[in-house]
């Protein structure tokens, strides 16, 4: 049973025209489909499946669901049994519940987030193709993001009441979905409280991450760029488009990634993320950041963490 990678994120936006301008002109995505309900589907140039982001018009920003691709149809059936044995109810959604996607296994994470697994989505190829490809297409727009890289979800945490959905999600992803932990931030006496957890199902430093907060939500969805130079160029693109930047170009301690955080017009936080950091492997020791270095783990250069970074999310 193999979970391969992030497949797509379905987010809510309050102004579809403004959102499309943002995800096309700033992030650099392309529209690949519109459905009868008004949802819009987009992909990055280096992705080969039909879409990685679904925009749904709503009166409130945030995430509807997150989906990951598994290796084959048999994995869906096997994972359904494992998830239900873990005490979580599931629903097998029929083919074409979402356009161009086969069956989807739907369930709620311990944190309450809606997650789906699927085995098939229409392959349309990257913008440079698979035969003698150029390193990039000639019609790049905006930051020219390669692909949707990961998402960070906020999870309810209240140690006084014994609630830590970061730890609950971590156990679920490791024991049931087969992910492995790459890094963590621990706080409290003896580092007993897991504040943040970074997990991988590949060789990347993380394919999903969880951080503790007052309520469940989405902290950000992240798009991959090649290099520090591309991060700086992305900052220029954001400035030209008057994009609201949350955190200007800097480096993470966690994952060693280079980053900019910014908001779409509805207030959903985005990230451009460069640098694979290190090769994640299942036998690599887990990197642990302690409470006294927690701010530096997030923003390595300054070691300063604004409160709004963890309290403002959709």
Tens of pLDDT, residues 88-109: 999 999 999 999 999 999 999 9
Q: How far apart are CA 311 and CA 211, in angstroms?
A: 11
Q: Which of 41, 118, 261, 300 is the catalytic position?
A: 261
Residues 47-57 have a mean pLDDT of 98
Domains identified in the chain and CATH numbers: 3-118 (3.10.180.10), 147-311 (3.10.180.10)
What's phi and psi for 42, nearest 5 deg?
A: -135, 155
Catalytic residue among 252, 258, 300, 313: 252
Band (306; pLDDT cuts 50, 70, 90): confident
113 is catalytic: no
Residue 2 has pLDDT above 90, yes or no: no
Task: Return mean pLDDT, the chain.
Answer: 97
Pick the catalytic residue: 220, 258, 300, 313?
Answer: 220
Nearest to 166 by CA among 147, 145, 181, 149: 181
Question: Does the active-site annotation cover 219?
Answer: no
Annotated catalytic residue within 8, 22, 150, 219: 150
Where b means 16+ CB within 10 Å and e means fewer, 130-153 reads eeeeeeeeeeebbbbbbbbbbbbb
pLDDT attached to residue 9: 98
Is 65 a residue of the active site?
A: no
Q: Is the pLDDT of residue 61 over 70?
A: yes
Count Cβ neighbours within 10 Å for each residue of 154-175 and write b for 16 or more, e otherwise: bbbbeeeeeebbbbbbbebbee
Whether 1 has a pLDDT exceeding 70, the answer reads: no
Active site residue 271: yes
Catalytic residue among 113, 146, 271, 313: 271
Whether 252 sits among the annotated catalytic residues: the reply is: yes
Q: What is the mean pLDDT of residues 171-195?
A: 96
Mean pLDDT of 205-215: 97
25 contacts 241 by C-beta, under 8 angstroms: yes
Question: Which structure tokens are listed for 212?
Answer: 């503790």
> Residue 275 in contact with residue 294, Cβ under 8 Å?
no
A 10 A CB-CB count for 240 gives 11
The yes-or-no verdict on residue 309 having pLDDT over 90 is yes
Percent of the chain with pLDDT strictly greater than 90: 96
Note the pLDDT of residue 252: 96
pLDDT exceeds 70 at position 114: yes
The answer to whether residue 307 is catalytic is no
Token reading at 118: 């699927």
């Amino acid at each position: 049973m193999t979970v391969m990678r992030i497949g797509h994120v379905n987010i809510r936006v309050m102004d579809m025209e403004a959102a499309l301008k943002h995800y096309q002109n700033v992030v650099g995505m392309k529209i690949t489909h519109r459905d009868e309900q008004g949802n819009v589907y987009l992909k990055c140039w280096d992705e080969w499946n039909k879409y990685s982001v679904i925009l749904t018009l709503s009166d409130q920003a945030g995430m509807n669901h997150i989906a990951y691709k598994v290796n084959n149809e048999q994995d869906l059936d096997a994972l359904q049994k494992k998830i239900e044995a873990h005490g979580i109810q599931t629903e097998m959604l029929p083919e074409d519940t979402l356009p161009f996607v086969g069956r989807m296994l739907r369930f709620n994470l311990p944190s309450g987030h809606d997650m789906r697994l699927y085995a098939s989505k229409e392959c349309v190829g990257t913008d440079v193709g698979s035969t003698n490809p150029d390193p990039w297409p000639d019609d790049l727009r905006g930051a020219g993001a390669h692909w949707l890289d990961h998402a960070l979800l906020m999870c309810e945490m209240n140690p006084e009441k014994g609630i830590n959905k970061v730890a609950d999600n971590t156990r679920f992803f490791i024991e049931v979905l087969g992910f492995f932990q790459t890094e963590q931030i621990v706080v409290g006496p003896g580092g007993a409280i897991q504040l943040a957890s970074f997990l991988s199902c590949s060789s990347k430093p993380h394919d999903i991450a969880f951080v503790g907060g007052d309520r469940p939500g989405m902290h950000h969805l992240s798009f991959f760029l090649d290099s520090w130079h591309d991060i700086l160029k992305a900052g220029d693109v954001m400035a030209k488009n008057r994009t609201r930047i949350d955190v200007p170009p800097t480096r993470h301690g966690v994952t060693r990634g280079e980053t900019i955080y910014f908001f779409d017009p509805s207030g959903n936080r985005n990230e451009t993320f460069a640098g694979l950091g290190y090769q994640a492997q299942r036998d690599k020791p887990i990197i642990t950041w302690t409470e006294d270095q927690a701010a530096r783990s997030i923003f390595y250069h300054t070691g300063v963490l604004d409160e709004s970074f963890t309290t403002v999310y959709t």
